Structure 1
Amino acid sequence: MAGDVEHPDSESYSSGGISSSEKGEKRLLFKLGLSFFLFGLINNVLYVIILSAALDLVPPSTPKGIIAFCNIAPALIAKLGWPYILKGKIRYTRRIFGCCLLSFIGMLAVALHESLYSRLLGICLASFSSGLGELTFLQLSTTYNPAAIGGHSVGYWSSGTGAAGLVGAFLWWELRGLGVEVGVGISSVLPFVIPLTYFLLLPRPVAFLDPTTSIVYSALPFDDPGIPTTDTSEESSLLENEPKSESVFLTAADKWRLLRPMLFKYMVPLFCVYLYEYTINQGIAPTLLYPVPSPERYGFLSKIIHSVRDYYPLWQLVYQTTVFISRSSISLGIPPMSIRLLPLPAIAQLAILITLACESAFGIFSEDHEGRSIAFVFVLISIEGICGGLAYVNVFYRINQERPDPSTVENEELAKQECEFKIGSLGFADSSGILFASLLAVPTEIELCKLQVARGKLLCQGL
């Protein structure tokens, strides 16, 4: 990515032939990538910790699905409310402080209160903060120019969100022995990493601007009152000639004009991917159970699976690992998918959902070959995770790259708000897919278990 921003007139080092400008650009890109990776990791890790701790947070008689609902519905409200309802300039500093405090208070409520309603309220606060945080950082990525720098930000943000699945599950595995009060209490300090990263590590957008361009609005997210800026006199004079941004905002008609072409190009594929993916994870995967492999026939598998209850955590580990790898594809240098190929992950997910449902209900292989069935499910869930991660990173990358032609921009603040709205409006698609999947998962799991019992496979009844 460093090669996307060149300054050929910079002075070169005599030893390595690397110019001081190129070295500085690489350092800036590293700090930018690390910052957005940390944003994605910390913003999403609490969501994973809550899901991992579900069994410990509610009484045995309480359906665990209520945790999943409280962990996604408030995030959906945040993603629906902020881009669609609120208007005007985004105050990034205020949002980030607000998200940090909401997450901290929510996790403390979970840790310090044993009441079910207090814990559910805390989960809702943390969920709302996570949804608003995802919206905020994706919008922040659009303020970095040129577009290649914004894509760099999205790639590392996506990688961080993928890593959150693995890190969150591992953290709770290590902390659960301390109990909910101490384990969740320790987790509550994690959100403070975000403002520290924002102020101490994240490069300002103005650091990446081409000196020859007049587009300077990318410096604005850091111009909140009381936050010092480092604008040059030339940039300041340009900003002085800009109209007051407080009076500039997108109308409802503007937002619908921007949203309409994105519905089938971006939002429907993303919704379908998450609908199918989470239906598999929450409704089908819990029923993909087989006898415990014997050491005589399956030496390796027998070391991993010691009881029937080990299958579901194994499928989740496979899923989270492949999601992390695929969400990191752009940050690893793999070219992004073309826009016309974006529906393919959703089509593949649907095929996987149908195949795994048939495997659960009827069994594709004979029951005396559970090794084949386990390997078959392993491969399909790996592909599921890869498709889900590729859909996420590529959809947000592509929408990030849709920037206006600077020569046609009449109002820079309005153009900035259009980019922010477009990427912010997409979050509604994935969260609504997850929410619908959580409603489908319960009857799916029940029906699949009934079909298994009807053919004499009783493993799902013993969980």
Structure 2
Amino acid sequence: MEFTHDGKVPLTIAARIAFFVCGLVNNFVYCVFLSAAEKILESGGGVPTSVVLAADILPSFFVNLLAPYFIHRIPYNLRIILATGFSFASLFIVAWVDNIAVRILGVCLCSAGSGLGELTFLMFSSFYDSKSVSFWSSGTGAAGLAGSLSFLALTVWARLPLQTSLSIVSALPPLMLVAYFFVLRIPNDVLQEQKRLQKERNDMDIHLASTDSESIVLEKGSKKGDVDETPHALLDGPSDHTKDAFSSAQVQVHSSPDVPFSHSNLRPEERPIRERFVLVKPLLVPYILPLFVVYWAEYTINSGIAPTLLFEMDNTPFQKMSDHYIYYQALYQAGVFVSRSSLSILHIQRVWIPSSLQVATLVLLLTQAMLTWIPTVYVVFVIIFWEGLLGGAAYVNTFYNISKDVPPILREFAMGVSGLGSVLGISMASLTGIVLEPALCNFQASQGNTLCRFK
């Protein structure tokens, strides 16, 4: 197997397609269930749609929270087989079991599989060229669009029942196995060789950081204005602050009196738990927190606010009141797909920008839910699409920045840990939505707007 100059597997055309397919398949069922939330719960006696979101993300949250500290013991091959099996089984359960509680368990199974798959492929991408993250992210964006549009086409346009619709889409999960085992799989001996090379490079980096740290800091300080004040700092250029933070973290681990020197050249999964927590700290502000904020805001919109953004049927293109939510999901996922596929056009180094704009979007739509000041649903369509653009941009740029800024020996670990920001944000949003949706619905009713009662 050939390698690039920095010891990574080249990103061939076949590999690019395979990463795209794996991203699409991994998130497809998850996105279908989000679009199907109201139909999954239609016999549940007014259960909020946020319950499906909670079931669709909380298991993934616990996977992302705990797995980075032990998942290295599970081979990549087995992880991907498990992720595929969970997705397929979840479709079968939700399609053919009428009991709401069991359906929710099926959605939980999908969440665990999707979380395992995302964590696995983000970590796996660290062995390929950094642009592999872009193709994976584009695939996950396409999953949202394909999932929401396919559910819209099958249930609204073709008028197929939920059972038939989910049975049709169950043919997709096995494609992830094909893409991985026939295109992407790296033999174990090759993986071990790559890890050995990463250790050698990291030894040199730590040695330089620990012996020359003062001169490096002075040199950085003299150039700080040149780097930070350029007009292109928003879009281009590596994050020197992030690299310095990781150097400091590694030196801190290296120089601690309680930590043997030999630990400095170990990969994160080979280090004690305490040392791994030290390495998580530099990830918080540039990566984990922006992901948390943007995902909390957008999924609070999707689960708690969007179900209450209703208009009179005469002024909409819908056939049923419940079609509002399905169309909103399709437009949101379209925005996600566009922005997750835009990395070659627009690179955002400061991911806090789309995160902050997403919070502003939440406030805007919350005022609409309470005051109904927007005159037509088509304006809401544009805002929902914008919401998807912001969320997708934050995701793809965060993981691309990690692939460029984090030292190679820490990159696999950083990819896995940083995903915690998104699942924690979605988890908090699901809990927010469980309270917010009925509260908004009751508020609208108190103002004489009863559309929410007839979804």
Q: Using structure 1 for the length normalisation, give the TM-score.
A: 0.73
The structural deviation recorded for 1:129 is: 0.9
Higher helix share: 2
Matches within 5 A, 1:149-160: 149-150=129-130, 152-160=131-139
Contact 2:31–2:144 under 8 Å retained in 1: yes
User: Residue 289 of structure 2 aligns to which amino acid in structure 1?
Assistant: V
In the alignment, structure 1 residue 269 sits paired with structure 2 residue 299: no
Q: Confirm whether residue 291 of structure 1 aligns to residue 273 of structure 2.
A: no
Q: Are residues 79 and 201 of structure 1, via their aligned partners in 2, closer, same or farther at CA, if it must alter by over 3 Å? A: same
Query: Is the Cα–Cα contact under 8 Å of residues 88 and 249 in structure 1 kept in the other structure?
Result: no
Q: Is the 8 A contact 2:199 2:267 kept in 1?
A: no
The residue aligned with 1:167 is: 146
Q: Which amino acid aligns with 2:414?
A: K
Structure 1 residue 393 displacement after superposition: 0.5
Unpaired segments ≥5 residues, structure 1: 7-24, 219-244, 295-301, 406-414
The answer to whether the 8 A contact 1:361-1:449 is kept is: no
- 1:399 is aligned to 2:382: no
Is 1:77 equivalent to 2:90 in the alignment? Answer: no
Larger Rg: 1
Distance 1:459 1:108, change over 3 A: closer
Pick closer, same or farther for the CA change 1:281–1:400 going to 2, 3 Å.
Answer: same
2:180 corresponds in structure 1 to 198
Within 5 A, what are the aligned runs for 1:245-264?
Answer: 249-264=270-285
Structure 2 counterpart of 1:160, one-letter code = G
What is the alpha-carbon distance in structure 1 between the residues aligned to residue 40 and residue 98 of structure 2?
A: 8
1:361/1:451 contact within 8 Å kept? yes
Task: Map 1:270-419; keep pairs closer than 5 Å.
Answer: 270-293=291-314, 304-306=317-319, 308-330=321-343, 333-338=344-349, 341-364=350-373, 370-371=375-376, 374-404=377-407, 415=409, 418-419=410-411
Pairwise CA distance, 1:247: 12
Instruction: Please say if 1:140 is aligned against 2:161.
Output: no
Give the match for residue 242 of structure 1.
Answer: none
Amino acid at match of 1:122: G
**1:308-355 CA distance string (max 9 Å, x none):** 44433332222111111011111xx214211xx211112111111112
1:125–1:347 CA distance, 2 compared to 1 (3 A): same
Q: Residue type of the partner of 1:361?
A: M
- Give the conservation status (yes or no) of the 8 Å contact 1:399–1:423: yes
Greater Cα shift, 101-110 or 171-180? 171-180
**What CA deviation, in whole Å up to 9, does each residue of 1:224-252 have, x standing for no partner?**
xxxxxxxxxxxxxxxxxxxxx99971321
In the TM superposition, residue 94 of structure 1 has moved relative to its aligned partner by 1.6
Counterpart residue number, 2:211: none
For structure 1, which segment, 187-196 or 342-351, has the greater mean C-alpha deviation from structure 2 after superposition? 187-196
Aligned-residue offset at 1:197: 0.7
Counterpart AA for 1:346: S
Deviation at 1:364, TM superposition (A): 3.4
- 1:164 deviates by 0.8
Q: CA deviation at 1:290?
A: 2.5
1:47 aligns with 2:47: no
Q: Percent identity?
A: 36
In structure 2, relative to structure 1, the CA distance for the partners of 1:285 and 1:257 (3 Å cut) is same
Instruction: Show CA shifts across 1:223-280 (max 9, x none).
Output: xxxxxxxxxxxxxxxxxxxxxx999713212211210011112111110101111111
SS at match of 1:190: coil
* Structure 2 unmatched ranges of 5 or more: 201-265
- With over 3 angstroms needed to count, the CA separation of the structure-2 counterparts of 1:132 and 1:248, relative to structure 1, is closer
Alignment match, 1:20: none
Alignment counterpart, residue 36 of structure 1, candidates 19, 22, 25: 19
| Residue equivalent to 1:93 | 77
Matching residue's letter, 2:100: L
Q: Which residue of 2 aligns with 1:227?
A: none
Cα distance, 1:171–1:349 mapped onto 2, change above 3 Å = same
Counterpart in the other structure of 1:120: 104
TM-score (normalised: structure 2): 0.74
- Which digits, 9 at most, give the CA deviation of each residue in 1:192-248, with x for residues without a partner? 111211121237599x99xxx993899xxxxxxxxxxxxxxxxxxxxxxxxxx9997
Note if contact 2:18-2:180 (Cα within 8 Å) is conserved in structure 1. Answer: yes
CA contact (8 A) 1:99 1:133 kept: yes
Structure 2 counterparts to residues 171-186 of structure 1, below 5 A: 171-176=150-155, 179-186=161-168
Residue-pair matches, total: 377
1:385 Cα offset (Å): 1.3
Matched, 1:447 2:426: no
SS in 2 for 1:215: helix
Question: How far apart are the structure 2 equivalents of 1:248 and 1:307?
Answer: 52
By how many angstroms is 1:178 displaced? Answer: 5.1
Contact 1:49–1:168 (Cα < 8 Å) also in 2: yes
